[in-house]
């Protein structure tokens, strides 16, 4: 799949932002007054900034309001509704802390759970795709949720919880990669089923339908850069998980904590890039590619 930068930014930063909102809502940290304002501003800039970035790849962002209508079947629609709900509830909860120094605990918990709901519905957009066998697995939502609450814990300075979640995240990611690498083959979709010509013999793409490229090739058949995948995987594990945990375990300082956050963000950006670049869509088979 084409690793569009708007979608990578959305997944990385909204994930972090909603993760932070989750912890704020759950009362893991209960800042008051102007400090609450700063905490909520950071969370909203990340969450909303990511959401805005995600609209950049739309052909008609001005019609985005229509995307709230099909929640009965569409995960994208559910994600939109969940995001608006979480952002409104958490804004009220945040206002309570900033202006009245009053935590409306129940509202916070509802908003916190809804924030996780956003991350879950996002992950299901990918996990539902039968056409992309690598994504269609429980590790996809598990990874999204772990990264989000792990990153949120890191941002909110909860050293122990963040360390544990980051270690779990690393193990989960390695597992997702290892099992994901064989899932396309295991899906049973191949050039023979794609063309229905397998009963005659081995099928090879002889001539594509066009001399140039097209939307399908640009969007779904992304082979460049995959050859560096192994290196990028190591970089991802190092930056997103290992280095932040080491920095967290050192005696606490704000500089080290800031480095841990930056390293984590750089690592997650790489992870998201790989998530798309390594995902093979079955339509590539019609072009003899993957």
Partner 1 sequence: MTQLPPPSAKKLGLVIDLDTCVGCHACVVSCKGWNTENYGAPLSDQDAYGANPSGTFLNRVHSYEVQPEQGEAQLIHFPKSCLHCEDAPCVTVCPTGASYKRAEDGIVLVNESDCIGCGLCAWACPYGARELDAKEGVMKKCTLCVDRIYNENLPEEDRQPACVRTCPSGARHFGDLGDENSDVSKLVAERGGFDLMPEQGTKPVNKYLPPRPKDEMPEFDVLAPYLEPIASDGKGFVGWLDKALSAMPGGAK
SS3 213: coil
186 belongs to the binding site for partner 1 (CB under 8 A): no
Q: Binding of partner 1 at residue 188 (CB under 8 A)?
A: yes
* 241 is an interface residue for partner 1 by CB under 8 A: no
Nearest to 154 by CA among 289, 36, 268, 9: 268
Task: Say whether residue 197 binds partner 1 (CB under 8 A).
Answer: yes
Instruction: Mark 94-133 with x for binding to partner 1 (rule: CB under 8 A) and - for no binding.
Output: -------------------------------x--xxxxx-
Measured from the CB atom, the residue of 45 and 205 that comes closer to partner 1 is 205
Interface residue with partner 1, options 10, 13, 40, 75 (CB under 8 A)? 75
Closer of 119 and 282 to partner 1 (Cβ): 282
Structure token pair of residue 24: 């704020």
235 is a site residue for partner 1 (CB under 8 A): no
Determine the 3-state secondary structure of 171 from DSSP.
helix
**Of the residues 34, 106, 186, 200, which one makes contact with partner 1 according to CB under 8 A:** 200
Per CB under 8 A, the list member of 38, 41, 45, 58 interacting with partner 1 is 58
Show Cβ contacts of residue 121 under 8 Å, excluding neighbours closer than 6 positions. Answer: 75, 78, 79, 82
Quote the CA–CA distance of 112 and 106 in Å, as a whole number: 10
Query: Using CA atoms, how far apart are residues 122 and 30, in angstroms rounded to an integer?
Result: 27
Among 34, 106, 186, 202, binds partner 1 (CB under 8 A): 202
C-alpha to C-alpha distances, 60 to 45, 63, 65, nearest whole angstrom: 23, 6, 11
- The DSSP code for 199 is T
d(CA 72, CA 51): 21
Decide whether 58 or 234 has the Cβ nearer to partner 1.
58
Residues 137-166 that bind partner 1 (CB under 8 A): none
Distance (Å) of CA 226 to CA 257, 274, 279:
32, 8, 10
Per CB under 8 A, does 82 bind partner 1?
no
Choose which of 38, 45, 64, 250 interacts with partner 1 (CB under 8 A).
Answer: 64
CA 140 to chain centre: 9
Tokens representing residue 60 in the block: 């008609």
Question: Which residues contact partner 1 by CB under 8 A?
Answer: 1, 57-61, 63-64, 66-70, 72-77, 80, 125, 128-132, 187-189, 191, 193-197, 199-216, 219-220, 281-283, 286-287
């Amino acid at each position: 799949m084409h690793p569009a930068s708007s979608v990578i930014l959305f997944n990385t930063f909204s994930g972090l932002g909603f993760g932070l909102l989750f912890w704020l809502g759950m009362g893991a940290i209960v800042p008051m007054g102007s400090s609450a304002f700063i905490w909520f501003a950071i969370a909203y800039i990340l969450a909303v900034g990511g959401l805005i970035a995600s609209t950049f790849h739309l052909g008609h962002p001005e019609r985005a309001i229509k995307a709230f209508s099909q929640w009965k079947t569409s995960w994208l629609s559910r994600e939109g509704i969940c995001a608006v709900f979480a952002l409104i509830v958490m804004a009220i909860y945040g206002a309570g802390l900033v202006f009245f120094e009053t935590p409306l605990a129940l509202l916070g918990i509802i908003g916190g759970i809804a924030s996780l709901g956003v991350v879950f519905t996002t992950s299901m957009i990918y996990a539902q795709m039968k056409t992309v066998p690598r994504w269609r697995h429980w590790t996809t939502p598990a990874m999204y949720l772990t990264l989000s609450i792990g990153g949120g814990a890191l941002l909110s300075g909860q050293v122990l919880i963040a360390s544990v979640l980051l270690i779990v995240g690393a193990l989960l990611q390695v597992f997702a990669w290892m099992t994901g690498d064989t899932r396309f083959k295991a899906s049973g979709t191949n050039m023979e089923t794609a063309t229905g010509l397998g009963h005659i013999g081995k099928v090879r793409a002889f001539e594509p339908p066009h001399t140039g490229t097209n939307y399908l090739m640009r969007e779904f058949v992304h082979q460049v850069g995959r050859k560096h995948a192994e290196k990028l995987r190591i970089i991802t594990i190092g930056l997103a998980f290992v280095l932040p945990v080491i920095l967290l375990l050192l005696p606490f300082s704000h500089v080290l904590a800031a480095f841990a956050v930056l390293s984590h963000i750089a690592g997650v950006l790489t992870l998201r890039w790989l998530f798309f670049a390594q995902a093979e869509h079955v339509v590539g088979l019609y072009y003899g590619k993957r």
